[in-house]
Amino acid sequence: MSKPLRKAVLPVAGLGTRFLPATKAMAKEMLPVVDKPLIQYAIEEARAAGIEQFCMVTGRGKTALVEHFDIAFELEATLRQRGKTAELKMLHDQQLPPGSIVTVRQQEPLGLGHAIWCARAFIGEDPFAILLPDDLVLSETPCMQQLADVYAETGGCVVAVTEVPRNQTNRYGILDIESDDGRLVAVKGLVEKPKPADAPSNLSIIGRYVMLPQVIEYLARMQRGAGNEVQLTDGMAQLIGKVPFHGLRYEGRRFDCGDRIGFLEAQIAFALKRPDIGPAVRAFLKSYVKP
């Protein structure tokens, strides 16, 4: 029987250069989609999947990410005095229990695999989730919950996958498929950013993973891959054949919030789903779109 999934690693050390000047003095993961920062969406998604312990792999200038989940005594006192109970409840709901969040530093930008390796002491001997806050998924069932359900069934490693245009495979980690039932894919290989002509499929991994701790052993070798970085995909590929390894065609719509257009699209999509502001947003959008 597989160990329960209770830990999550969130790599958040990136500089966010594509969003300059907004990210000059602000962590890109604190950029809000409607009224909630990206990092909060990721933490809430993990908590919905039963995850209780969190490790942020950070860099310089990222202290606001942890402070966001801390108790803001002065703010709460002011809200209490003004009778703003709804706002107070909102703050209480986002707080994490004491001791449930830790940070480690990735001093050099040596790749996603290196960032996960930096969290090795936190991971220990346990399975763990990885959530990349840049990837935001709008779905009926939280994406990580979908992965956790598959992990409970199959054990091993599970990654969220989606189809990408064949001419864009050189941007993603791509699956080599053994079998495919339309929902769950048995994986026989992984290739990081292959040229379209060399890609074994057009199924791409997005920023949601359930990993076994054995991957750390391979990442520790610090072998450089695509972009001369330590790639998580290369470490995962070493596990294939040794443990069950599946890709899940998740339910939902993924937005690449590391890209300006994807970020703007997420703003609109998430706003339209909100019952409190959706109708007003839909109404004003019509004034910007000619019939």
Task: Look at residue 71 and tell me whether its pLDDT is greater than 70.
Answer: yes
Task: Look at residue 171 and tell me whether its pLDDT is greater than 90.
Answer: no
Tell me, what's the pLDDT at 291?
Answer: 65
pLDDT per residue over 222-250, tens digit each?
777 777 778 898 888 889 889 999 999 99
- Counting Cβ atoms within 10 Å, is residue 17 exposed (0-12), middle (13-18) or buried (19+)? exposed
Looking at the domain assignment, is residue 233 inside a domain? Answer: yes
| 250-279 average pLDDT score | 94
Domain count, the chain: 1
Looking at the domain assignment, is residue 2 inside a domain? Answer: no
Mean pLDDT taken over the chain: 90
Looking at the domain assignment, is residue 191 inside a domain? Answer: yes
- Euclidean distance between CA atoms 203 and 160, whole angstroms: 10
Looking at the domain assignment, is residue 186 inside a domain? Answer: yes
Report which of residues 220 and 50 the model is more confident about. Answer: 50
Report which of residues 1 and 239 the model is more confident about. Answer: 239
- Euclidean distance between CA atoms 10 and 133, whole angstroms: 7
Tell me, what's the pLDDT at 121?
Answer: 95
What percent of the chain shows pLDDT beyond 90?
52
Looking at the domain assignment, is residue 72 inside a domain? Answer: yes
| 53-74 average pLDDT score | 88
Looking at the domain assignment, is residue 187 inside a domain? Answer: yes
pLDDT per residue over 114-169, tens digit each?
999 999 999 999 999 999 999 999 999 999 999 999 999 999 999 999 988 888 88
Tell me, what's the pLDDT at 167?
Answer: 86
- The CATH number covering residue 47 comes to 3.90.550.10
Looking at the domain assignment, is residue 291 inside a domain? Answer: no
Looking at the domain assignment, is residue 239 inside a domain? Answer: yes
Domain span at residue 169 reads 7-286
